[in-house]
Chain A
Amino acid sequence: MTEQQQTLWSFMYEQSDKLLRQTFQHLGLTFTSLLLAVAIGLPLGILIARKSNLAGSILGIAGVLQTVPSIALLGFMIPLLGIGAKPAIVALLIYALLPIIRNTYTGIVGIDRSIIEAANAMGMSKMQILFRVELPLAMPVLLAGVRTATVINVGVATLASYIAAGGLGEFIFGGISLNNTNMILAGAIPAALLAVLLDFLLSRLQKLNGKKLKKVLLTFPVIIVVLAGFYLWPNTYTTKLRAGFTPEFMGRQDGDLGLKSIYGLKIGTTVISDAVMYKAAFEGDLDVISGYSTDGRLKAFDLRILKDDKGIFPPYYAAPIVRESSLKKFPDLEQVLNLLAGKITDSVMTDLNYRTDYLKQSPERVAKDFLLKAGLYQPPRNGQSGVIRIGSKIFGEQYILAEMYSILIKGNTDYEVATKTGLGGTKICFDALMNDQIDFYPEYTGTGLLVLLQPSPELVKEITKDSHRTYNYVKSAFQKDYKIKWLMPIGFNNSYALMMRKKQSQSLHITSITDLTKYLAQK
């Protein structure tokens, strides 16, 4: 751990170029979307203030859009706009729209009618009333809307890293995946500070009145355009092929770092969430992605794994890890969980994943079908001698495994089961286990070694040459350090892998990572 125990400050200093780039990207995303949201929301707000019969429907639509979960919204954008800045900006814009439309509307409708009548009676034209009376008087309310939208956008923009749009989310989500608190904070603290700072500046703006406000508002678009322009900050160099790696992969020795140091791979890289990465590769937005070797989408999207000919990806054999206290509390548990040991091979797991991720079968059904076929299925006994809490990370394979364990426990013991699926990344799952919020979850040997134990690089290199050594190492270390037991491996190895579209790899004759490196090195 010694190496990792650097201070937050030294981490930020070391990563200052990335931090700066991400901050500017973040500002750029926030303000580009804000600018567009004002450009759309302000006229819409004015329109519905004029035609009040439209107000209900337009505010309703904006309200419904607002309630779409941000991740889902980003997901919807990909088929329409691909990955990167465009869908992120559109998604952020949609979030910023409601407060701006609503506050423009409320601001204008809230003006004393006699003031508008006076303006009319003085002989002002519609436009003169709008610009000289309505907008100035609605300005404080309108700015409150912009302020809300800004703060929302700074927050939601952290999710933009999921679809390769950059921003401080790269550090935050990378940090969560890598169990690197410094990295999380290096993203979260600047994001929070940005929100607080922008909120403060806009609150000052709100308090200005009349002439001063006018001056500031005239410079406002300039400031926004400049800030929006930060997004053009060069974020990657371009190469013949484009790679998309998960935030986790980016920060790992057995990921991007290893690809650079051991293979000498030079490829233009964007950071993207694994939820959308495969599709982006399939649709040609990306050429090389960092996938998982048992991922069902491998099959669904016709991708092929590039051979790791220098062996940088350590083995990731899956096995349930259980609190020792839970094993004592539930004596039958270990035996039941080991029913699955050695039962699922790589290709079986890929197929099961394919059925959930691509054929959209429910994890329950996939799990039950498999257990029936393997002759392991027992109908539930509906026992009541204690509740076992199963955790899982937030992807299909873990859901399937959690379901299988749930069925096995219910069928073979008198315990009840509570599943807590979708616990984000490794760190969240592991913390839940350590804090006795769950009894066990399926973990991978490589993750246990590199993310949780984090031994010295020399030791890692030594251990990971052999899958048994890796398993034995994590098993004894977890027992000693955490009082957590690794049960027997389930059988498959879900390691990291670089993958490409099958057709492209054939036409470029790339079958291994070394081939890829060579191809990219050619002029």
Chain B
Amino acid sequence: MIKVSGLTKTFGNIKAVDDISFDVLEGENLVLLGTSGCGKTTTLKMINRLIDPDAGTISINEVDTSREKPELLRRKIGYVMQNIGLFPHYTVAENIAVVPRLLQWDKKHTINRTLELLKKLHLPENYLQLFPRELSGGQQQRVGLARALISDPDILLMDEPFGALDNVTRSSIQAEFKALEEFTKKTILMVTHDVQEAFELADRICLMDQGKIIQIGTPKELLFTPKNDFVIRFLDGQRLALQFKLVTIEDLWEFLPEDPRHTNKTISADKASMWSVMEAFSADRSIEHQFFVNTRTKTIKGLNFTQLTNAFNSYQNKEIHD
């Protein structure tokens, strides 16, 4: 979908982005992760030509973006930013309708699409006539999302989209966003410095440092087969929590003992993370066993806390040695 090759950008004598290449597959969520100054935002902004690269090419659907008029290119790409950047002199409705107005949509079409998005993003209709300053930060970012999604672009660029929100608001918007069908359907390139967020939302993570890509791969690959010390150090202190959140019961299936008992109270094994199962054990001490169904093999297994940790241990060994 997006093909980046040999991309370089220098500011003064600092190489912000240093000859990087990567692809973003259709429908994929690729997260650019790194500390501030690593070049991730510059990379993102070169995709819709907010910044023009010094060298290298970017093509979208095999069309070189440098051949397109920047304005026209940007109208086809959704953009969500940390500071939201709603127009203070426009109402919510007008803010959402910025791109349709540029694309000269029919008014009715715009209104219908706006109402559709409001429902999806849990924004009440009477907000439409309000001005951005009358909304909370979380609501503003929902409007920002609606503005980016209204023209149903194939590609969504997100620059620290939840970075300015407080923790509670952030996790609820993250969860809502993850549940949107747009999240799964669209090709998304997201920038963040928040490791948790990256692992939560990414199909693949591109870890950057000093303008270079250190490792690009699935969250599991970064966790279990880090390419070098930098990756290991980057995840220091969070590794176990990330692993627990990432690994599902389905992943552990082969290491779980057969359990002859049967129950109707089962949970889908691919939906249950290590973390959630351990939380359930810790929340209710009276539970000894939890039961899961593997929807692929159509088998049911039960496990207690010890069996769970043993299975995780074996899984970890296997991942590392693969």
Are the CB atoms of A114 and B89 closer together than 8 Å? no
Q: Once the chains are docked, how many angstroms separate the CA of A485 from the CA of B276? A: 109
B261: min CB distance to chain A, Å: 57
Q: Once the chains are docked, how many angstroms separate the CA of A125 from the CA of B75? A: 11
Q: Once the chains are docked, how many angstroms separate the CA of A133 from the CA of B102? A: 13
Are the CB atoms of B85 and A123 closer together than 8 Å? no
Residues in A whose Cβ lies below 8 Å from that of B48: 121
Residues in A whose Cβ lies below 8 Å from that of B157: 121
Residues in B whose Cβ lies below 8 Å from that of A125: 71
Within 8 A of A (CB), among B38-88: 48, 50, 70-76, 79, 81-88
How many residues of A are in contact with the other chain, CB < 8 A? 18
B269: min CB distance to chain A, Å: 41
Are the CB atoms of B87 and A115 closer together than 8 Å? yes
Are the CB atoms of B99 and A123 closer together than 8 Å? yes
Residue of B nearest to A111 (CB): B88
Q: Once the chains are docked, how many angstroms separate the CA of A125 from the CA of B81? A: 19
Q: Once the chains are docked, how many angstroms separate the CA of A445 from the CA of B21? A: 96
Residues in B whose Cβ lies below 8 Å from that of A123: 70-76, 99, 102
User: Binding site of B, secondary structure by majority: helix, strand, loop or mixed?
Assistant: mixed
Are the CB atoms of B81 and A117 closer together than 8 Å? yes
Within 8 A of B (CB), among A372-407: none
Are the CB atoms of B50 and A118 closer together than 8 Å? no
Are the CB atoms of B84 and A122 closer together than 8 Å? no
Q: Once the chains are docked, how many angstroms separate the CA of A121 from the CA of B71? A: 8
Is B212 in contact with chain A by the CB < 8 A criterion?
no
Q: Once the chains are docked, how many angstroms separate the CA of A119 from the CA of B102? A: 11
Residue from the set B81, B98, B99 with the largest chain A CB neighbour count within 10 Å: B98
Q: Once the chains are docked, how many angstroms separate the CA of A122 from the CA of B83? A: 14
Within 8 A of B (CB), among A203-222: 209-210
Within 8 A of B (CB), among A104-128: 112, 114-115, 117-125, 128
B-contact 0/1 string along A126-138, CB 8 Å cutoff: 0010000100110
Of the candidates B75, B85, B89, B102, the one whose C-beta lies within 8 Å of that of A118 is B85
Is B301 in contact with chain A by the CB < 8 A criterion?
no
Q: Once the chains are docked, how many angstroms separate the CA of A324 from the CA of B98? A: 82
A482: min CB distance to chain B, Å: 65
Within 8 A of B (CB), among A222-263: none
Residues in A whose Cβ lies below 8 Å from that of B83: 112, 114
9 A-B residue pairs with CB within 8 Å: A114-B81, A114-B84, A120-B74, A122-B99, A123-B74, A123-B99, A128-B102, A133-B87, A137-B88
Interface residues of B (CB under 8 A from A): 48, 50, 70-76, 79, 81-89, 98-99, 102, 147, 157
Closest 9 CB pairs of A and B: A118-B85, A123-B75, A114-B83, A123-B74, A121-B79, A114-B85, A123-B71, A136-B89, A122-B98
Seed contacts A114-B81, A120-B50, A125-B71; 16 additional CB < 8 Å A-B pairs: A112-B83, A114-B83, A114-B85, A115-B87, A117-B85, A119-B87, A121-B74, A121-B157, A122-B75, A122-B98, A123-B74, A123-B99, A123-B102, A124-B98, A133-B87, A137-B87
